[in-house]
Every structure is written in C-alpha cells, then in structure tokens.
Structure 1
Amino acid sequence: MKLIGSLTSPYVRKVRVVMAEKKLDYEFVLENVWAENTQIQAHNPLGKVPCLLMDDNGSLFDSRVIVEYLDTLSPVGRLIPQQGRDRAATKCWEAIADGVLDAALAIYIETHRRPAELRSQQWIDRQYGKINVALDSMDKSLDDQPFCMGVNFSLADVAVGCALGYLDLRFSELNWRSKYGNLQRLEEKLQTRPSFMATVPVQS
C-alpha cells in the first residue's frame, strides 16, 4: 500500500499512527496539495490528503474511511469496537477531535492562504470558539480515565492526540494545557508511544 500525504497534516498523521499501531507496511509518498503541479486529484477527486492507494490500484480517501478500513486488515491492536454503543462512542470521539482540526485548519487557511483584505475576524473568532468548546467537552468526558474509552487505547485516543499535536504545531498561543489538565495527562501518555513519537508533525 501507498499513503499519499504530508508531514504537517493531522489527518495524515492519524492514518500513520493507526498504521504503526496495526503494524502495517506501507510506502509514504509526500504530496503538496497546494502546489500547482500536484497530482493528488488523479487519486482523490477532492484534492485532499490522506489518500491510500491499495495493492489493486484502488484508492481510499478521508482519514475516517481509511482508518476504519485499516482496522479490519489485522487483528493486532484492534482500535475500533466492532459493534454497539462503544463503537459509536469511539467514532464520536473521533468526530469531535476532527471537528477541532476542521476549525483549526479553517483559521490557518483564512490567515495564511486568504488575502488580508478578504479575511474575516468574525469567522476566525467563531472557529476559535468551536475549538475551545470542544476541548472543554473532551476534557470533561475524559475525566480521570486513563484513555478516552476507559482502560483501553483506541482510535479515540489517536484522533484526540493528533488534534492536540496540531494545536501545538500551529496554535501554541492557545496554551490549552493550562486549562485542560485531563487532556494534558492523556497527551503526555500518548507521546510515549512509538507511533506518536515517529509521526511528530513538521512545521512548514
């Protein structure tokens, strides 16, 4: 398999962490979707990463779709419960973590890709509001549990860890650790895992 992505994208990192946890072999292909000569749309019509190219030349895109597929490839380190309420709860954790990323990326694009005269501070403030409410909700839901879903490491922790890592990369001024001690405790635990240590995002 080949994974097309970047060293900055938190969605790509989520897939890379899952692949490491599942002990899956793959080739990592770097792609800059903002470059004029990008070829990403040959594999993903939406022009986004991550994109997974499979051995039969088929492709999967959207990190949520890819990680769900990857979790079925090996019984090693099952990350998503197979059915029931725990499965839904795990996916809800992933959804709120991805929501933090969606808002963070919206801010980054607005402030770095959009002409200054067209930027909307009201829009930016709205996205910051989403991030703060989501972090507060995740912190309270985590409470004193070792992991998001209780005692077992899961996709929920992968998603949350990647979201917090991206905030550190792009929005260090948020200083989220000073407000959300439960998330800080989780993040410190995740950073000791080889899958997270090997995929630390790179500033670009």
Structure 2
Amino acid sequence: MKLIGMLDSPYVRRVAICLKLLKLDFEHQSISVFSTYEQFKQINPVVKAPTLVLDNGQILMDSTLIIDYLAHLTPAGAKLQPEGAEARLRACRLTGLALAAAEKAVQIVYEHKRPEDKQYTPWLARVSEQLLAACGALEADLTTAPLPTPGQPFGNTEVTIAVAWNFIQMMMPTLVAADHFPQLKAFSALAEQRDEFIGTPAE
C-alpha cells in the first residue's frame, strides 16, 4: 500500500500512525496537493489527501474511511476501537470532537492564506469559536476520565486527539493557548513520545 500526502496534514498523519499501530506495511509518499498538484493528480485525479493506493491499484480517500477499511486488514489481536457499547460510544464522541477541531483549524489556516483584504472576519470569528468549543469539550471529558498512557493500548480515538492537538498548536498556539487546556496538552505530550508518533513527525 502507498499513503499519499504530507504529514503536516492531521488527516494524513492520523492514517500513517494508525497504519503503524496496526503493523501494516506501507510506503509513504510526501506529495502535496498544492506545490506538487500535477504529480498528485497523476495518482488520484480528485487530488485529495490522504489518498491510500491499495496493492490492487484501487484508491481510497478520507482518513476515517481509510482507517475503517484498514481495521479489517489487521493481524489477530490488533484493533483501533474499544469493545463494548459504552466504550465505543465515548470513542466515537471524542473522535468526532477531535475531527471537528482539526477541521476548524484547517479552515482557519486556509482563510489566513487569502490576502488580508479578502479574509472574512465574521467567518473567522465563528470558526474560531467552534474550534475552541471542540477543544473545550475534549478538555472537559479528559478531566473526568483520562485517556490511556503510552504504556497502554492506543487506538483511533487517542491518535486523532493527539494529532489534532499537535496540528492546532503548530498552526495557532495563540488562539488555542495550551495552558488553558492542560489535559489535552499533557495527553498529547505523552502520545508524541510513542514510537509511532516519533517516527511520523509532522513535516
């Protein structure tokens, strides 16, 4: 398999780390949807990152759908989702919040790439509010029930939260002040010490 996309994308990095957690062999190609658009287009005409090219040539897109597919290829004992309805419910809820935070952060980054006189301030204010709300909800949940430490099993939810937080702190540490979210800060710092994270740095 080949994973196409830059690791500065939280979605690409999310898939790459999950592939390593599942111990699935893959090749990563750092191809940008911006600077190397035409090269990406030759692989996937939709030019969407992450793109996963399977050994049979078929292409998958969207990090959540890719991870869902990968879960069915795992060796015995490897898994990304907890067992049990209550545990699975919490995992889905926290993953949704982390993905919402990542999405809003990406929207802010893209808006700031526009010329300053073309940026829409009300839109930035609304998206920033949504980002802070998602981070606040994650922080509140982690305060009542901490997530696993690096020595314990990690799954899709843990990866998604840590990767989203890392991206947010790289791109907008002033807007989302780490000291206001001590649980997220501490959890992400522990996650980044795992071999799968160290070997998959945000570019």
If the length of structure 1 is used for normalisation, what is the TM-score? 0.88
Q: Which residue of 1 aligns with 2:115?
A: 115
- 1:47-58 equivalences in 2 (<5 Å): 47-58=47-58
**1:18–1:67 contact (8 Å) kept in structure 2:** yes
- Report the equivalent of 1:13: 13
2:161, 2:177 → 1: CA distance?
13
| CA–CA separation in structure 1 for the residues paired with 2:83 and 2:123 | 38
Letter aligned with residue 159 of structure 2: V
1:145 aligns with 2:145: yes
Partner AA of 1:142 in structure 2: L
Deviates more, 1:13-22 or 1:82-91: 82-91
Structure 2 unmatched runs, 5+: none
Deviation of the 1:167 alpha carbon: 1.1
Q: Residue 4 of structure 2: SS of its match in structure 1?
A: strand
Q: 1:143 to 1:36 in 2, by over 3 A?
A: closer
In structure 1, C-alpha distance between the alignment counterparts of 2:94 and 2:108, rounded to whole Å: 22
**Secondary structure, aligned partner of 1:92:** helix
Could you tell me how far 1:168 is from its partner in structure 2?
A: 1.8
1: CA distance, partners of 2:37 / 2:177: 37
> How big is the shift at 1:185?
2.0
SS at match of 1:172: coil
C-alpha distance in 2 between matches for 1:82 and 1:6: 32
SS for the counterpart of 1:47 is coil
Structure 2 match to 1:136: 136
User: Alpha-carbon deviation of 1:41?
Assistant: 4.2
The answer to whether residue 131 in structure 2 is matched with residue 158 in structure 1 is no
Decide which moves more: 71-80 or 25-34. 71-80
Distance 1:78 1:37, change over 3 A: closer
Contact 2:51–2:62 (CA under 8 A) maintained in structure 1: yes
For the residue of structure 2 that corresponds to 1:55, the secondary structure is: coil
1:119, 1:174 → 2: CA distance? 17
Paired residues in the alignment total: 199
**Letter paired with 1:55:** D
Aligned residue in 2 for 1:62: 62
In the alignment, which residue of structure 1 is the partner of 2:187?
A: 186
Name structure 1 gaps, 5 residues minimum: none
Offset at residue 98 of structure 1 (A): 1.1
Per-residue CA distance 1:33-52 (angstroms, 9 max, x = gap): 11364243455454210010
CA shift for structure 1 position 128: 1.1
Q: Cα 1:36–1:7, aligned 2, differ >3 Å: closer, same or farther?
A: closer
Q: Deviations over 1:113-134 (max 9, x none)?
A: x233221111111111111111
Q: Could you tell me the TM-score, scaled by structure 2's length?
A: 0.88
> In the alignment, what sits opposite 1:92?
93
What letter is aligned with 2:177?
A: W
- Secondary structure at 2:73 match in 1: coil
